[in-house]
Structure 1
Amino acid sequence: MERLKDGFVLKERYRLRRRIASGGMGAVWEANDELLHRPVAIKIMHPHTASEQVFARRFRDEAQYAAKLRSSNIVNVYDYGEDHGLAFLVMELVTGKTIAQLIATRGPLEPEFVRSVVIQVASALAEAHEWGIIHRDVKPSNILVTASGEAKLSDFGIARAVQGEPLTQHGEVLGTPQYLSPEQATGQPASPASDLYALGVVAHEMLTSVKPFDGATPVAIALAHVNEPPPPLPSSVPSDLAELVSRCLSKDPRLRPASADAVIQDLQPNTGGLRMVPVPPLPDRRPPAPPLTPASPTTGRQPLAPDLVNPRRTQQVLAVAATLLVVVLCLAALFL
């Protein structure tokens, strides 16, 4: 991948400009389509994975799955090709931030912003599920949001058609541990309800800025999904939103919303269509100015302020597994 740099041209058409991100299967570049004169994003598969049949098949599947879908809340796929020994996927370039970046810089997000994002991601999932496609990796880093509040679901790299040929080996579970459904963790196949569970985890994390299920190892995280209840949401979260998140996080898939469309119906205001909520501004992290204390009447000096004691706060253990990478968990016999 060392040859990939600013100015490198793929298929005599796509000129690379700068690398945006890098993951386990490849890297994403901002590029220019010199035929249609528009900016695009290009995911280029790492050469060492291109030679591995399963990874190459998943990469092609991502192109085919995403190309079928027609939703303003899914990142559009324009083209797929191979050139210079590299397989690549040409996509819509979305100017914005991922939900993961927003949580990292802003902390808990406003409930009405969360409501808007959840409705839009549910709309994307409804389109995918209508085509019989399960995303299987709904997480904050796969949700892009523009400044105006438009949310787009990306990365169908480990998506699977419900009736499609399985690409996993016996005993493998694909997904990111913090967003893995209990049924997947116990060796059952993923279903549309699994995507709704992951959406519930994302919504909970947006409202609190903390992953509801975490642990020191992927296995510990998976067991938490199976056995532990999610932490309570702040009392400031509207009751309908809190109830929806709770139902999405039900351990039993049958107790979750019946479909992605049902999620939209539960959260959509009765007054009309979706009201997109702009991305919240960055919080002011400057320390507050110290209060003015009147001078001592006898000495004219400012009295000394008492020592301030910061209360201890407990913190959840950070997960070892990186959320930007697709990980393989060998938890139980699974044949997807």
Structure 2
Amino acid sequence: SYFFAIDFEMLSPVEQSILRVVAQQSTATSDTLRGTLRFDDSAIGAGLDRLADLAYLRRGPDQSFLLRNSFFRHWLDDWMRDHDDVDNVVTQVHGMPVLPSPEVSDDGPLETIDGRYTLLARVGEGATGIVYRAHDTLLDTEIAIKVLRPEYCAHEGALERFRQEIVLSRDIGHPNVLRTYHLGEYRQRKYLTMQWVDGQTLAQLIADEAPLEEAASVGIALKLSAALEAAHACKVLHRDIKPQNIMVDRQGEPFLMDFGVARVLGGPGLTSSGVFLGTPNYASPEQAGLQTLDGRSDLYSLGVVLFEMAVGRRPFLGDTSQDVLTQHKQAAPPDPRSLRPGLSDDLAAVILRCLAKDPAQRYPNATALRQALRQLG
């Protein structure tokens, strides 16, 4: 139950609310959830997708949503009995004043936050908030600011994840780890200040240009392995390495970001909790099997990313998240040369070693992987 509590706290307020409704009603449709919860339809839809990816929910024969894990369902029933004031908390979140989202204008800056951060342009939007390019007038430099959605601003579990981002990026201190600087508040809305990267996510780059040139794939993986080397030296496991969590600037330099589900080696949350954390398409076999993790799990995930860069698709495809997780645990990966003739034997060998089912057959650590990739350059 201790690990269920840790994992549940790492979910967003929307995701927690969805699980509570499904637990209370035994089953719930999308329409029921949208009619019950006081969140935007888009936020509920995104929450359902993520909970399905994390294996909290499954579809019944009538396409309604059910809790997948019976042990978690019993734990959540007990949790709700001990937290009968939770509905009041949700109501307070939706009743709080909201910082209007500035609109992009061609006539000049959008708004200045705390008299210091001038918003210049809206550049993206995700489940947790809206991202802006901004100018830090005190340090005279460009940064990124994420203005958090209202439901995250009063949720201590979600805010703790953002604080973890700041601490871990500072402690790791590697040039290929995206820095998160500060969690602030302005007009009762929380915001994060982060390093500005003029570029795009690796997911966008793959979608536009895959397969990448072999030298580019190796170069990106080399820098990311160095970032993991630094993280693991600080006893930090990322646990969610995927192209969406990697920014690439216009010079091709990658930046690993989003340590929101990271864990410190030897700390709570690294052993089986009955709930999957991560992203199924990039999960290691031991992660998919809810087993104890170490740094070699991150190397497997990086191997999946390297496979996707070099080939243009992931090694395992399936109709459901569970199908993909099962393949990660049981199926041999395809030889990348069968999907991209002309790929070098040496790069294929590095990829396949990363994707070994048994962690003992992978590179022993990020240093060894970095050295192997360097020899390809």
User: TM tier, shorter chain?
Assistant: 0.7 to 0.9
Cα pair 2:179 2:194 within 8 Å, conserved: yes
| Structure-1 separation of matches of 2:99 and 2:191 | 16
Structure-2 change in CA distance of 1:48 and 1:66 (3 Å): same
Determine which of 318, 330, 334 is the counterpart of 1:227. Answer: 330
Q: Which moved more, 1:249-258 or 1:232-241?
A: 232-241
Displacement after TM superposition at 1:2 (Å)? 6.3
Task: In structure 2, give the amino acid aligned to 1:104.
Answer: A
Corresponding residue for residue 367 of structure 2: 261
The answer (yes or no) to whether the contact 1:21–1:28 under 8 Å persists in 2 is yes
Alignment of 1:1-336 (within 5 A): 3-6=100-103, 7-166=110-269, 170-234=273-337, 235-269=341-375
Sequence identity (%)? 38
Asked if 1 retains the 8 angstrom alpha-carbon contact of 2:271 and 2:290, the reply is no
Match for 2:350: what amino acid? Answer: L
Q: Which runs of 4+ in 1 moved over 6 A?
A: none
2:146, 2:191 within 8 Å by CA — same for their partners in 1? yes
With normalisation by structure 2, the TM-score equals: 0.67
TM-score, with length taken from structure 1: 0.75
Letter in 2 for 1:133: V
Distance 2:346 2:116 in 1: 49
Secondary structure, counterpart of 2:241 in structure 1: coil
Matched residue of 1:156: which SS?
Answer: coil
Change (3 A) 1:111 1:96: same
Q: Please list every run of 5 or more consecutive structure 1 residues that lacks an aligned counterpart in the other structure.
A: 276-336
Find the aligned partners of 1:165 and 1:9 in 2 and give their Cα distance: 40
Q: 1:134 to 1:95 in 2, by over 3 A?
A: same
Could you give the per-residue CA deviations for residues 41-73 of structure 1, whole angstroms, max 9, x where no partner exists?
122332212333322211111111111122111
Number of matched pairs: 271
User: Any stretches of 5+ residues in structure 2 without a counterpart?
Assistant: 1-97, 104-109
Instruction: Tell me how far apart the structure 2 counterparts of residues 220 and 51 of structure 1 sit (CA, whole Å).
Output: 36
Q: CA RMSD in A?
A: 2.1
Shift of 1:190: 3.0
Question: Separation in 2 of the partners of 1:174 and 1:125?
Answer: 19
Q: CA deviation at 1:165?
A: 4.1
Structure number with higher helix proportion: 2
| Distance across 2 between alignment mates of 1:146 and 1:44 | 22
Contact preservation (8 Å) 1:62, 1:158: no
Deviations 1:152-210 (A, max 9, x none): 11111211112334499942221111001111111113321111011000000011111
